């Protein structure tokens, strides 16, 4: 029996796990690409049991209740050309989360998280391109013994830029589902760039794309996600 526990460090909202990180943890249990759907807020510091199905589906349960589920999924997403790292640095200065943030302690994008603790990914608008971009230099605490960023943190990094691509006023939204593909895990202290852009919007639901580029401007990971405004 496989058990996953989400440590408090990896929160999104203060009392539940960051959606990208949790999704990456479950996706890491699959041998094929998956789409992950968050059914309930993932609890922190609680054992969650991984259930496997013959058709490749995975469920993460607590006390018999499905919290997160994943199913095999392939998607096609064209990613934009990589912005320069210095452009991402400049764009991050306009990060709206510095002024208004629904979850300022979020592991990925929370401005109240210190260096070496949170990812501190702060996407800002890149001119009138319709993209938000952010610099990211992963620290060693995110890496495995080979010096490369762990799979689940690659998923986490692809999460929050989508939120800021979906809207620019800081309204509360939660990740509904995400499908990601990781081509290459980046190294500690590598100068990376993250990009997010809006694909569609209907009612309270926003579909977004995100991508992660290495210090050569090569895409290393991409994702399609759905964000939902809270009522």
Instruction: Sheet containing 131-136: give its strands across.
Output: 2-5, 47-52, 58-62, 65-72, 34-38, 173-182, 219-229, 205-213, 192-202, 131-136, 124-125
CATH number at residue 133: 3.10.129.10
Question: Is residue 78, in this structure, part of any structural domain at all?
Answer: no
Question: Is residue 57, in this structure, part of any structural domain at all?
Answer: yes
pLDDT tier for residue 171 given thresholds of 50, 70 and 90 = confident
Would you give the distance in Å from CA 101 to the centre of its chain?
16
Choosing from 44, 72, 100, the residue where a domain stops is 72
> Can you give the pLDDT at residue 2?
92
pLDDT in tens, 188-199: 999 999 999 999
Mean pLDDT of 24-42: 96
On average, the pLDDT of the chain sits at 96
In the chain, alpha helices (H): 19-27, 85-92, 151-157, 160-166
How far is the C-alpha of 96 from the C-alpha of 21, rounded, in Å? 22
**Does the pTM exceed 0.95?**
yes
Q: Write out the residue range of the structural domain in which residue 203 sits.
A: 85-229
Question: Is residue 171, in this structure, part of any structural domain at all?
Answer: yes
For 191, residues 6+ apart whose C-beta sits below 8 A from its C-beta are: 85, 135, 137, 215
Choosing from 72, 103, 127, the residue where a domain stops is 72
The helix/strand/coil state of 60 is strand
Question: Is residue 125, in this structure, part of any structural domain at all?
Answer: yes
Domain total of the chain: 2
- In this structure, the answer to whether residues 180 and 138 fall within a common structural domain is yes
pLDDT in tens, 98-151: 999 999 999 999 999 999 999 999 999 999 999 999 999 999 999 999 999 999
Q: How far is the first Cα of the chain from the last one, in angstroms, to the nearest whole number?
A: 37
Residue 162 pLDDT exceeds 80 = yes
Question: Is residue 119, in this structure, part of any structural domain at all?
Answer: yes
How far is the C-alpha of 123 from the C-alpha of 128, rounded, in Å? 14
């Amino acid at each position: 029996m496989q058990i996953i526990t989400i440590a408090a460090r990896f929160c999104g909202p203060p009392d539940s796990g960051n959606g990208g990180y949790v999704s990456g943890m479950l996706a890491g249990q699959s041998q094929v690409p998956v789409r992950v759907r968050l059914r309930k807020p993932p609890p922190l510091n609680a054992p969650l049991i991984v259930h496997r199905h013959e058709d490749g589906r995975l469920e993460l349960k607590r006390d018999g209740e499905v919290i997160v589920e994943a199913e095999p999924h392939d998607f096609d997403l064209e990613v934009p050309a990589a912005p320069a790292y210095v452009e991402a640095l400049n764009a991050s200065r306009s990060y709206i989360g510095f002024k208004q943030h629904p979850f300022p302690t979020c592991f990925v994008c929370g401005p109240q998280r210190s260096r070496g603790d949170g990812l501190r990914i702060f996407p800002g608008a890149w001119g009138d391109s319709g993209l938000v971009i952010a610099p990211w230099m992963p620290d060693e605490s995110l890496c495995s013994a080979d010096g490369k960023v762990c799979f689940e943190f690659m998923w986490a990094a692809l999460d929050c830029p989508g939120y800021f691509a979906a809207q620019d006023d800081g309204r509360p939204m939660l990740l509904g589902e995400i499908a990601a593909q990781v081509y290459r895990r980046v190294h500690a202290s590598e100068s990376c760039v993250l990009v997010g852009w809006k694909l569609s919007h209907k009612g309270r639901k926003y579909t977004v794309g995100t991508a992660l580029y290495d210090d050569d401007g090569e895409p290393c990971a991409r994702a399609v996600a759905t964000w939902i405004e809270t009522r």
